[in-house]
Amino acid sequence: MTILVTGAAGYIGSHTCVELLNTGYDIVVIDNFSNSKPESLKRVKEITGKEFKVYTVNLLNRKKLEKIFEENRIEAVIHFAGLKAVGESTKIPIKYYHNNITGTLNLCEVMSKYKVKKMVFSSSATVYGIPKTVPISEDFPLNVTNPYGRTKLMIEDIMRDIYKSDNDWSIALLRYFNPIGAHWSARIGEDPNGVPNNLMPYITQIAVGKLKELKIFGDDYPTTDGTGIRDYIHVVDLALGHLKALEKVLSTMGVDAYNLGTGRGYTVLEMVRAFEKASGKKIPYTVVNRRPGDVAICFADPSKAKQDLGWVASRGIEEMCLDSWRWQSNNPDGYEDSSKVIATL
């Protein structure tokens, strides 16, 4: 059974490929490497000892996309490929809509043509916007506040309309909360371009001396210590959630959304303390103004995924912080640092 993974070289894509291969799936992967490096896929092969075809393809290239479906007997698609920086999306919305929406429409058209009607889609908790209460469940109002989030919600709606038009489709929409951590081997991990926007990679780059101090965006939120609360989830738990969703789409029809979170929130200061404890490194910080668009508190009610998919996140905050630290300390320059890489496999 061959699974096509788009955006496979990315942070969550590469971790999901490891779990797919370890579980015995054959995979074929697509990436245009606009936001990732081929090195991550080499390391997926190193970790699993498995081979797989890599197509350097942009989903906007319909011809090349069709060729992949001609050359491989694909059973289902896990679709990660897409631009994903909230701030950047407000500056270049047309690029986000074209890349994320048109790319997905191309993919769905080709899937339909080759009768591949099973998809796991990488959505995001960002589709909930500013939740009225927490924890957040899947039936909460969807209310996006930026072009990136709007592309995720639009694609969810496109997938729901595709299913309505053809009940042979089977689709799982996975709404991620805040993925952090890395595979225990420390050979794959989060490798953001430039200065990280997200909290954990910013912290780990301070710990390896690449950045000086953390700016904490506001300590006047209605939380225990005033700093923002998020639902941090280990990227391997997230990857395993994709396998459970894949099992579901391979066995049933329909379209359904699932929160992939732990159901527990931590403040920024709690994350700083947890990381300091796990790494033994001091993280200097100053409190500055709130970041525009940030929500105060966001964490999941993950009970639907537990009930429908039989999935529960099992890795705690200590393991998340330790694995983030081990990845960064072994790869101070991310995948750039190919000097440590075993000769090309």
Binding span for ligand WQD by CB under 6 A among 45-53, 129-137, 191-199, 327-335: 191-199
> For ligand WQD, which is the closer residue by CB, 188 or 214?
214
Q: Which strands form 229-230's sheet, in the order they lie side by side?
A: 266-267, 229-230, 297-298
Is the Cβ–Cβ distance between 40 and 191 less than 8 Å?
A: yes
- What is the full DSSP assignment across 93-128? HHHHIIIIIIHHHHHHHHHHHTT--EEEEEEEGGGG
Binding mask 196-225 for ligand WQD (x = CB under 6 A): -xxx--x-----------xxxx--------
* Window 120 to 179, contacts with ligand WQD (CB under 6 A): 124, 126, 176, 178
Strand partners, 270: none
- Decide if residue 228 touches ligand WQD (CB under 6 A): yes
Is the Cβ–Cβ distance between 191 and 37 less than 8 Å?
A: yes
**Tokens in use for 234?**
């280990």
Question: Position 322: which residue type?
Answer: L
Q: How far is the CB of 69 from ligand WQD (least distance, A)?
A: 27
- Decide if residue 324 touches ligand WQD (CB under 6 A): no
Question: Position 255: which residue type?
Answer: V
* Window 77 to 106, contacts with ligand WQD (CB under 6 A): 84, 86
> For ligand WQD, which is the closer residue by CB, 28 or 120?
120
Is 335 labeled as catalytic in the residue annotation? no
Measured from each CB, the residue nearest to ligand WQD is 228
- Decide if residue 294 touches ligand WQD (CB under 6 A): yes
Cα(first)–Cα(last) distance of the chain, in Å?
Answer: 24
- Decide if residue 108 touches ligand WQD (CB under 6 A): no
* Window 258 to 277, contacts with ligand WQD (CB under 6 A): 268
Question: Position 46: which residue type?
Answer: E
> How far, in Å, CA of 238 to CA of 13, rounded?
10
- Options 25, 55, 128, 148, the catalytic residue: 148
> How far, in Å, CA of 103 to CA of 26, rounded?
24
Q: Using CB under 6 A as the criterion, which residues of the chain lie in contact with ligand WQD when the complex forms? A: 84, 86, 124, 126, 176, 178, 197-199, 202, 214-217, 228, 230, 268, 291, 294
- The catalytic residue positions are 148
